[in-house]
Amino acid sequence: MLSGETAKGSYPIESVRTMHETCMLAESIICYAPLYNELRALQVRPTETTETIASAAVSSAHEQNAGAIIVLSTSGNTARLISKYRPRIPIITVTRNPQTARQIHLHRGCYPFVYEKPRSTPVSASDTYLGPSDTYLSPSESAPWQEDVDSRIRFGMEQGVKYGGVHGDPVIAIQGWKGGLGNTNTLRVLLTP
């Protein structure tokens, strides 16, 4: 962290450049597998579903030698949890909420993108949950929602190719089983074009 003297001194640009180089060097010598294992061991058990998916995403990314983790998020919570495990690859966060994108940008390794195409299906839990006996959508009801999810994942992959150098690499895609907050429970391994 720069002090007021170095940031406001005669050479502020050089100070920031030196700090950047120092951070890049420090990050380059991190052994990610032991760090991940240590962070995972410190996690209180039992974990929430979203925490489990976040951990599995980082582990899968390492095992698959993935180029990125793509997260579809409303609140940004899943991306924050993934960032906690410090993966060595970018976390591409696709959200419709500009405020969430701004907040996610502050977390390590997160690259938020705002998806601006209109929704094709309802997103609130009350729109899709009809009662205790009907917790899942029927295939005909879920088809438009899954198409929307797939288009957001494709958007994330396009951003990874465009900005992150993800070409022909596997990516880990994280999504929920229905729209809204707190439903993240699905991990997919996909190949970029």
pLDDT band at 92 (very low <50, low <70, confident <90, very high): very high
* Residue 70 near residue 172 (C-beta atoms within 8 A): yes
* Residue 160 near residue 92 (C-beta atoms within 8 A): yes
* Mean pLDDT over the full length of the chain: 81
Strand partners, 95: 114
4-13 pLDDT per residue, tens: 666 677 888 8
Residue 178 CA to residue 47 CA, distance in Å, equals 21
118-135 pLDDT per residue, tens: 765 554 433 333 333 334
Residue 4 CA to residue 55 CA, distance in Å, equals 38
Angle between helices 77-84 and 49-64 (to 10 degrees): 50
Average pLDDT over residues 127-150: 55
Residue 65 CA to residue 35 CA, distance in Å, equals 17
pLDDT band at 185 (very low <50, low <70, confident <90, very high): confident
148-181 pLDDT per residue, tens: 889 999 999 999 999 877 888 899 999 886 666 6
What pLDDT, on the 0 to 100 scale, is given for residue 114?
A: 96
Domains and CATH numbers, the chain: 32-191 (3.40.1380.20)
Give 146-184 as a DSSP string. Answer: HHHHHHHHHHHHHHHHHHH---S-EEEEEEESSSSTT-E
pTM for this one? Answer: 0.76
Strand partners, 180: none
Average pLDDT over residues 57-68: 94
